[in-house]
Structure 1
Amino acid sequence: MYRSIIVAVDVAQLEKGERILQKAVALLDQGGRITLVNVVEELPTYLAIDVPTDLMGAARKDANDKLQELRDRAGVSATVDVRTGAPAHEILGAAQAYGADLIVLASHKPDFSNYLIGATADRVVRHAKCSVLVDR
């Protein structure tokens, strides 16, 4: 069982988020904590010029609202953390910041360069300092 679990959720695929959150709840020690993490990817500079200035703020607010709704619907006590940056890097940063002993994330359909699991899951698995559960 685990004392601190990071559940990395892609708000574009909340059904997977619900599934991995339930797995995390089943693996959590009594008195442990779950942190729901979503990462809003930064736009490259050459694209950021052409988009509205409040786009990133709106994306962060939307992600926060969806994670809170997911938490409330599941009926669990969890911290919500919306980060900005590269997904794998920010998930690993959250794991370190919260002292996580498990990261739970879902894998997207991989392309040829990441044949077995998706790119973010692949990077998290390779660089995590704690256990990682990848749901397919």
Structure 2
Amino acid sequence: MFSKIMVPVDLVHKDTLSKALDVAGDMAKRHGASIDVVSVGGELPGQLGHTPQEFGDRLQGFADELRDKYGVTVKADPLMAHDPAVETNSELMKAIEKTGADLVIMASHKPGFLEHIFSSHGGYIAQHAQCSVFVVR
């Protein structure tokens, strides 16, 4: 049913991703799918690396951990943006096309007041993606 699962991650908050990652690992095993872990980083030094290469290396390490944990193929796709806070949604939409994902599994938080005014990343992707989207709270 699914062959390519894309999982957007924010490594700064990787401790909150376990439910979504478990769902992705289970779905990948069940359907014989591969997982593309994507993360949007900035071109300037930040918490996750001083260079885009360091950011990519950290994401690759995370992907390797997931591969070992779930026993499925996991690829790291670091995405670079001038302003990740503004460009995350558009970069994720481009990544869906680039990876050929037929399922996106995203972690999300319980919606609050601001989500009634501004869509969350998960809400935006679910509303605009041409593939299936599973938002996990």
TM-score by length of 1: 0.74
**Match of residue 62 from structure 1:** 58
Judged with a 3 Å threshold, the aligned counterparts in structure 2 of structure 1 residues 64 and 113 are, in CA distance, closer, same or farther, namely: same
Equivalent pairs, count: 128
The alpha carbon displacement at 1:8 in A equals: 1.2
Amino acid at match of 1:6: M
Alpha-carbon deviation of 1:37?
A: 1.1
Asked which structure has the greater CA Rg, the reply is: 1
Counterparts in 2 of 1:1-136, with a 5 A limit?
Answer: 1-28=1-28, 30-41=31-42, 55-57=50-52, 58-85=54-81, 86-115=87-116, 119-136=120-137
Tell me, which stretches of 5 or more residues in structure 2 are unaligned? 82-86
RMSD (Å), alpha carbons: 2.8
Matched residue of 2:62: which SS? Answer: helix
Q: Distance in 2 between matches of 1:31 and 1:40?
A: 29
User: Normalising by the residue count of structure 2, what TM-score does the alignment of the two structures yield?
Assistant: 0.73
Instruction: In structure 2, give the amino acid aligned to 1:103.
Output: V
Aligned sequence identity (%):
30
Pair 24,99 (structure 1): closer, same or farther in 2 beyond 3 Å: same
**Bigger shift: residues 59-68 or 92-101:** 59-68
